[in-house]
Structure 1
Amino acid sequence: MARLNIRRGQSASASAVQERSAAATMPAEAPASAVAPSAPAATAETEAVRKRRLPRTLDSFYDREFRWFYISMLGHMGSMNMQLVIRGLLAYALTESYATLGLVGLAGAVPQLFLSMFGGVIADRKPKKTVMQLGQLASLLNAAALAAAEFMGMMSIELLLISAALQGATMALMMPARQAMIPDVVAPDRLMNAVALNMAGMNSMRLFAPALGGFIVAAFGFGWGFTAMSLLYVVAIICMSQLTWRPASAPGAADQTFRQVAASSFADIGGGFRYIWRDHKMFVILSLAFATSAFGMPLQFLLPGYAADIFAENAEQGGAIAGTLLSVSAIGALVGAFALASIPERNRGWLFLVGGAILGLGIFLFAQADTKELALVTMVIFGLGSSFRMGLSQGLLHSYVEGEYRGRVMAVFMLQMSMMQFATFFVGIAAEAFGIRVVVACLGLILIATMGLAGALVPTVRRLQ
């Protein structure tokens, strides 16, 4: 079978701690981010920002720690988005099977399903920067191992599955810390802005990284693609090391070793799930996030095979088209992210529902596209809906969650990645039986119906501000 050769000052930190303490005493109806800054340093900082010339959309970049965090995120997400194309295309080139594409996603989903909550406990109990650095190092070693295997002619689908499983475990233990770090690296009154800018950065990587990955594979081969991924992880590690800010530890956490944290994990995990169950807002936001992941996101994992099958004459051409489609979707995602960074924090529940429906519409229209040009237009709609879905769900969770549960709640949120990949596996099987276009169209229609029913039947989501 043919293969292709292819860091913020101490005053701002103190302000953030006071802010979280004030937020804990608020009524349940108000989000934590609604508390007015109480520390003089934070107020002075906010006034200084108002006198500066950067647009309101970019406020969070006045925080040094957020800048380094942001650049580190760009390196990490750039590598991850390159992987989306390179690993998927390699799996399809090795087997020419949608089911195998889904199986590679499933290999990453299983460890995420079982380990994400442990990652949330670690994020609540240990320094998030350390957790991030360890995870980035593990990701670097994984990508470097794949590059070495390809250069030595030892690549196989079994090795790709093992790599996907190891990467899934790494993501499960690391990503809750990354998501929970955002409120700690910006002033409290910039939280939604920081979340939206974080989404914009992630989407910019979706714009450039897949196309870059596809180009490298087409021009130089898979080995150099994995090498480029490794170099981006090096950038992420270096930038994360520049963070000098230190958060307040959770009660009793400072003297705990990682082994002691692990020993108490099951009780902490149970506490996290009980909190989500009794807090109706958390439950509704997370449920909708899971639904939009399950029905809205499998397409991007199956896109390498879809493009090769529908729009291309061979796998090499399909890889380039898939990279282009993913990059174009990021244009809509960037528009959505910058819009979220600029709009006031109200009616976000309705916006969440609208974003999910837009995502479903983009998926349905994509399945109807008979030409590559029409598919490119529909992917802009897909990207816009995806950005609203992801940015608003994160922003709402950060606004309403109690600080002591933040890591565990974000760990549950990150379980949507497992949901996404499990769904991809079953969608891949269904595509083998009914055809990829029919299955993708059904996913879009189901997502639109889900958002409509939630808007009509769940008043909690309509009242979210």
Structure 2
Amino acid sequence: MNTLDPRKASPLTLGLRILSSLKNPSYRLYLVATIAHFAAMSMQIFTSPLLIYRLTGSKALLGTMSLVSAAPMILISIFGGAIADRLPKKKILIAGLIGSAIVSVFIGLSLSTGLLNRENPSSWWILFASSAVQGIILGLMMPALQAIIPEIVSRDQLMNAIALNTTGMNVLQLLAPGIAGPVIDRFNFHAVYFTMTALYIVAAAFILFISTKKQIIAAGSKIMADIQQGFQYIRKDSLILLILAFTLIATVLSMPYQQLLPVFYDDILKIGATGGGLLMMVSGFGALTGSLILAALPNKKRGAILLFSGIVSGIALVIFSFSSYLYLSLVFIFFLGLGQTFRMTIGSALLQAYAQGAYMGRVMSILNIQWGFMSLATFFAGIIAERVDVQWVLGSLAMLLIALSLVFIFFSSNIRKVD
């Protein structure tokens, strides 16, 4: 494939390159569906931790809610990958989105009827139960959501398609918290959950009309044997194994801050839900900037960029963790969003470019396990934060991320040299 150097390309040529995947009508439908899905998820990522913290005031319960979703996500993702390799991915996605809509409308009704409220201190179990169900749903559908992309676009369009998809996700990360925060302050939490319900239904409707150019279905009769073969394939392919290892480590060490942000909103920066929405918007703007850069870049030195994203995220998180000044926090949460987008987009693109098609769902399911382990790390971070200042907890994780990223840079030439 001929690639353009962004430094030499005209603005028009560069813009056409960034939007090249949109020529595919099925990809356009997929993109709208994922934007609606990510809008709902962005609202949930912002709203659920704040709701549990407002209900209980407990940092430990903030972390525990992550654990509740982590356990099913880790276990179910393995099966979700094997299922995605055996069944039509569209059906898996539609079922998962409808399931998410049911969970969201249940929480909305619980809030609006008073079943879930601060005056009923034990009602937080409803959020825990819904978090567990949502973990199961995500474990089943997320491998299919990623593995379906090669069935829609050609191999040389994968990086662009994934980057555009990440751009859409980041636009919503930019906008959704900025909408959810004021909605919470003005109308309360139930309005956000009803909005999420509508977005999930919209996403399912658009997935329904996608036409795939091919269906990559793995042969086999026993799902446990498929799972075992998937692990054997990953173990034998050193590049795939190292990319998965790095993305897992970087996610586990850099992402727990998101669940603990309500402590910063209410106790450290003292900015409330609306100010918290502003923080998340700036993080989303950093992520959007990163995804637009990646959509324009040619497929060169992607492995090196992936590894250096760990350094960027680590440094940004160290400074953000210890900052008690809003403007300083805004600057470095921007770079947090930037580094995380580089990691997520490039990691996913490399796996989908270099993994064999028949194993794609299982490879992507292992990638998605990172979110379960991130939730597990958030649980322990929340427990420790009850006794140790939360700023030191997150800052220590960030320092460890910097150290391990340097280890990969110096000792993992397999990743560093890959395009």
* Match among 328, 334, 342 for residue 288 of structure 2: 334
- Contact 1:356 1:388 (8 Å CA) reproduced: no
State the partner residue of 2:179. Answer: 212
- In structure 1, which of residues 62, 80, 100 is the aligned counterpart of residue 23 of structure 2? 62
Q: Are the equivalent residues in 2 in contact too, given 1:197–1:341 (CA < 8 A)?
A: yes
**SS of 2:19 mapped into structure 1:** helix
Which whole-Å deviations, capped at 9, do the CAs of 1:327-360 have from their partners, x for residues lacking one? 1101111111111111111211110111111011
Mapped pair 1:402 → 2:356: yes
Q: Give how far 1:101 is off.
A: 0.6
> C-alpha deviations, 1:73-94, integer Å up to 9, x for none?
0111100110112111110011
Q: CA deviation at 1:187?
A: 2.6
Could you list the per-position Cα deviations for residues 388-412 of structure 1 after superposition, in whole angstroms to 9, with x for gaps in the alignment?
Answer: 1111100110111011100000000
2:152–2:214 contact (8 Å) kept in structure 1: no
* Paired residue type of 2:89: K
The 5 Å alignment of 1:251-266 reads 252=219, 264-266=222-224
Q: Match of 2:240?
A: 282
Report the counterpart of residue 295 of structure 1 in structure 2.
Answer: 253
Q: CA deviation at 1:459?
A: 1.7
Alpha-carbon shift at residue 246 of structure 1 (Å): 5.7
Q: Does 1:324 align with 2:278?
A: yes
- For 2:223 and 2:260, locate their aligned partners in 1 and report how far apart those are by CA, in whole Å: 35
Aligned to 2:198: 231
Superposed displacement of residue 430, structure 1: 1.6
CA contact (8 A) 1:309 1:318 kept: no
Q: How many residues align?
A: 404
> Do 2:318 and 2:398's aligned partners in 1 also have CA atoms closer than 8 Å?
yes
- The equivalences for 1:295-374 within 5 A come to 295-312=253-270, 317-374=271-328
Q: Distance in 2 between matches of 1:131 and 1:248?
A: 14
Q: How far is 1:374 from its partner?
A: 1.2
Higher relative contact order (CA 8 A, sep 6+): 2
Is 1:186 the counterpart of 2:147? The answer is no
**Which residue is equivalent to 2:61?**
100
Question: How big is the shift at 1:252?
Answer: 4.8
1:439 corresponds to which residue?
393
Aligned-residue offset at 1:318? 2.4
Per the alignment, residue 128 of structure 2 pairs with 161
- What's the % identity of the aligned pairs? 35
Amino acid across the alignment from 2:231: F
* TM-score, normalised relative to structure 1: 0.84
Q: In structure 2, which of residues 139, 152, 167 is the aligned counterpart of residue 172 of structure 1?
A: 139
Aligned-partner Cα distance in 2 for 1:196–1:251:
27
SS of 1:55 mapped into structure 2: helix
| Cα distance in 2 between the residues matched to 1:407 and 1:252 | 13
Task: Report the AA paired with residue 141 of structure 1.
Answer: I
Q: How far apart are residue 267 of structure 1 and its match?
A: 0.7
Distance 1:209 1:265 in 2: 38
Query: Per-residue deviation at 1:227?
Result: 0.6
Distance in 2 (CA, whole Å) between partners of 1:338 and 1:252 is: 37
Aligned to 1:250, the other structure's residue is in SS state coil
The answer on 1:391 being equivalent to 2:345 is yes
Q: Is the contact between residue 199 and residue 387 of structure 1 (CA under 8 Å) also seen in structure 2?
A: yes
Structure 1 match to 2:49: 88
* Cα contact 2:152–2:211 (8 A) shared by 1: no
Query: Kindly tell me: are residues 360 and 53 of structure 1, through their superposed partners in 2, closer, same or farther at Cα, counting changes over 3 Å?
Result: closer
Shift in Å at residue 192 of structure 1?
A: 0.6
Q: How far, CA to CA, are the matches of 1:346 and 1:246 in structure 2?
A: 27
Length-normalised TM-score, structure 2: 0.93
What's 1:42 paired with?
none
User: Partners in 2 of 1:229 and 1:238 — Cα distance?
Assistant: 14
Structure 1 unmatched runs, 5+: 1-33, 37-50, 254-260
Provide Cα deviations, 1:114-164, integer angstroms capped at 9, x if missing partner.
Answer: 110111011101111110000000000000000111111001210000000
SS in 1 for 2:362: helix
Deviation (angstroms), 1:232 = 0.9
Deviation at 1:240, TM superposition (A): 1.1
**Contact 1:207 1:329 survives alignment (8 Å):** yes
CA deviation string 1:140-197 (max 9, x = no partner): 0000000111111001210000000000000000000001011111132211100111
Residue number in structure 2 paired with 1:459: 413
